[in-house]
């Protein structure tokens, strides 16, 4: 089946709806209803699925729908379990403390997954900053760092890396990307600290007084949920699921038909919901079902409509100019708007057909290409709300807590301002070759540091004016 460019129109309409409807007053009142979001997803997505089945792509449709089910079960389980953990107490929401929160999250993301770390930390971060008036930027950087860039160091950190592990990449191979991980997350944390310092200086005196006086020692309520979180992580890492390939080939038997991984995750979520005190979940954490419903409603449309886009990508990919930089650019830019797991796999399989004389090979892929694909798929998922699963969920939780988050387009502008220069510097310094590339990489670092310095100067000016 040959795919034409027009086949991606439903996917484009899906993205435009997410970007425009919340800003269009006549449409916003309908878009806020989950039933409308679900209906829009099905109106665009179901005809695409029927068209693909009629064209002989039924197996591909089943594969993508099963990936959607797995995706939602993972997010649902982590959402329920993390919703039962409450970090009690109230520390000062200073730039230092907020930066420490995000720094811890950047490490957690690689070991409990970006979704688990983001869901675990978003509520404590919001609780800590509840007295402050400027806090949307903190949520944005939580998405950048915890929900995306922190998950690079292990296959558990991000689904594309786990897929690479299943395709033969050694478990410890991603530890070798620690320099890129440290570079990107370090600059992001520095940028955040400077921005938060500026906004902290701009806080009304009343908010600062409330933040400083309403302080309690930190403690954890619902600690049993850490056990259920460990069960979910272990299930993702070790438990098998339905083997669609074996079933399709007629070679399946026994556990190949059993979604053991998903059963364990749902069991952990059920145990968490049943055993966590309602006063912790619904009282302390102000738990609501809205965010996970919204993610489920929107992503069914994204998964359905992106199928032709993925096929079209695979169709044109062999004609693309591929090298280290373009592997990063293509996998990164497409991971920003498509599901990064199939995007990773598309370029992974493509790279297996290429060679770099003298370069080591990992799982059949020249290592420089595998590095570029891994970095692009993980880091660039932070460029849009839909680039990675937890992005939209973090936004939804923040929205439900009354934090005014940027629109779809507004978020992209923020990521272009704060994240893209850092990723460009990383690409030029760690992926690109040649002295000119390194010099431009240094200029990008200077630009990032200059913006941070400007924020710190602004904070000092505000403090001087207030004094």
Note the pLDDT tens digit of each residue in 30-87. 888 999 999 999 999 999 999 999 999 999 899 889 888 988 898 899 889 988 988 7
According to the model, what pLDDT value does residue 314 have?
A: 78
27 pLDDT band, cuts 50/70/90, is: confident
Q: Which of 283, 284, 241, 282 is nearest to 259 (CA)?
A: 241
Mean pLDDT of 443-461: 96
Using 50, 70 and 90 to split pLDDT, how confident is the model at 111?
Answer: confident
Strands (E), 331-467: 361-362, 365-366
State yes or no: pLDDT of 456 exceeds 90.
Answer: yes
Whether the pLDDT of residue 467 is over 80: the answer is no
- Structural domain of 260: 5-466
pLDDT confidence bin for 156, thresholds 50/70/90: confident
Q: Are 99 and 91 in contact (CB under 8 A)?
A: no
User: Residue ranges of the alpha helices (H) in 276-323?
Assistant: 278, 290-316
Confidence band for 338, pLDDT divided at 50, 70 and 90: confident
Instruction: Report DSSP state, residue 431.
Output: I
Number of domains in the chain: 1
pLDDT at 89 > cutoff 90: no
Contact partners, residue 260, CB within 8 Å, separation at least 6? 235, 239, 240, 241
Please report the beta strands in 341-418, taking only residues with DSSP state E, as ranges in sequence order: 361-362, 365-366
Tokens of 12: 């484009």
How many CB atoms within 10 Å of residue 435? 7
| pLDDT at site 160 | 86
Residue 321 clears pLDDT 90, i.e. is over it: no
pLDDT tens for each residue of 256-294:
889 999 999 999 999 999 999 999 999 888 888 988 898
Candidate ranges 12-26, 384-398, 403-417; pick with highest mean pLDDT: 403-417
Determine how many CB atoms are found less than 10 A away from the CB of residue 28: 12
Inform me whether the pLDDT recorded for 90 exceeds 80.
no
250 secondary structure, DSSP code: T
Residue 410 has pLDDT above 80, yes or no: yes
Helix ranges, 317-359 (H): 324-335, 340-351
Cβ(36)–Cβ(299) under 8 Å? no
Q: DSSP code of 148?
A: T
- Token digits of residue 223: 């600690």
Of all residues in the chain, what percent carry a pLDDT higher than 90?
54
**H or E segment at 218?**
strand 216-221
**pLDDT for 140 beyond 90:** yes
The first and second tokens of residue 211, run together, are 């933040």
DSSP letter assigned to residue 217 = E
Beta-bridge mates of residue 362: 365
């Amino acid at each position: 089946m040959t795919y034409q460019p027009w086949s991606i129109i439903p996917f484009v309409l899906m993205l435009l709806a997410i970007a425009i409807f919340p800003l269009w007053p006549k449409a916003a009142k309908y878009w806020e209803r989950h039933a409308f979001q679900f209906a829009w997803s099905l109106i665009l997505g179901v005809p695409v699925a029927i068209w693909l089945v009629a064209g002989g792509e039924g197996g591909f449709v089943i594969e993508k729908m099963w990936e959607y089910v797995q995706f939602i079960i993972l997010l649902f389980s982590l959402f329920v379990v993390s919703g039962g953990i409450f970090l009690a107490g109230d520390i000062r929401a200073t730039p230092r403390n907020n930066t420490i929160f995000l720094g811890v999250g950047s490490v957690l993301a690689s070991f409990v997954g970006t979704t688990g770390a983001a869901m675990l930390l978003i509520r404590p971060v919001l609780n800590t900053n509840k007295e402050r008036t400027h806090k949307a930027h903190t949520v944005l950087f939580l998405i950048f760092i915890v929900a995306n860039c922190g998950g690079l160091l292990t296959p558990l950190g991000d689904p594309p890396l786990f897929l690479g592990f299943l395709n033969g990449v050694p478990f410890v191979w991603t530890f070798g990307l620690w320099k890129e991980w440290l570079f990107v997350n370090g600059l992001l944390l520095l940028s955040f600290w400077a921005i938060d310092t500026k906004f902290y200086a701009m806080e009304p005196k009343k908010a600062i007084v409330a933040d400083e006086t309403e302080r309690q020692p930190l403690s954890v309520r619902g600690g049993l949920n850490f056990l259920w979180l460990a069960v979910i992580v272990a299930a993702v890492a070790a438990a098998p699921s339905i083997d669609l390939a074996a079933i399709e080939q007629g070679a399946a038997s026994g556990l190949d038909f059993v979604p053991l991984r998903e059963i364990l995750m749902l069991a952990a979520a059920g145990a968490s919901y049943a055993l966590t005190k309602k006063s912790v979940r619904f009282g302390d954490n102000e738990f609501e079902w809205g965010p996970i419903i919204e993610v489920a409603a929107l992503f069914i449309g994204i998964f359905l409509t992106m199928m032709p886009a993925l096929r079209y990508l695979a169709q044109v990919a062999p004609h693309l100019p591929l090298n280290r930089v373009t592997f990063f650019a293509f996998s990164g830019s497409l991971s920003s708007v498509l599901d990064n797991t199939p995007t990773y796999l598309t370029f992974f399989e493509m790279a297996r057909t290429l060679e770099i004389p003298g370069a080591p090979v990992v799982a059949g892929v020249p290592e420089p290409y595998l590095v570029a694909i891994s970095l692009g798929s993980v880091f660039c998922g932070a460029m849009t709300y839909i680039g990675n699963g937890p992005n939209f969920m973090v936004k939804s939780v923040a929205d439900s807590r009354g934090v005014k988050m940027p629109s779809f387009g507004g978020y992209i502008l923020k990521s272009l301002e704060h994240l893209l220069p850092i990723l460009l510097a990383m690409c030029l310094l760690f992926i690109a070759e040649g002295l000119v590339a390194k010099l431009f990489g240094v200029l990008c670092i200077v630009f990032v540091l200059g913006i941070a310095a400007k924020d710190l100067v602004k904070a000092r000016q505000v403090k001087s004016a207030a004094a």
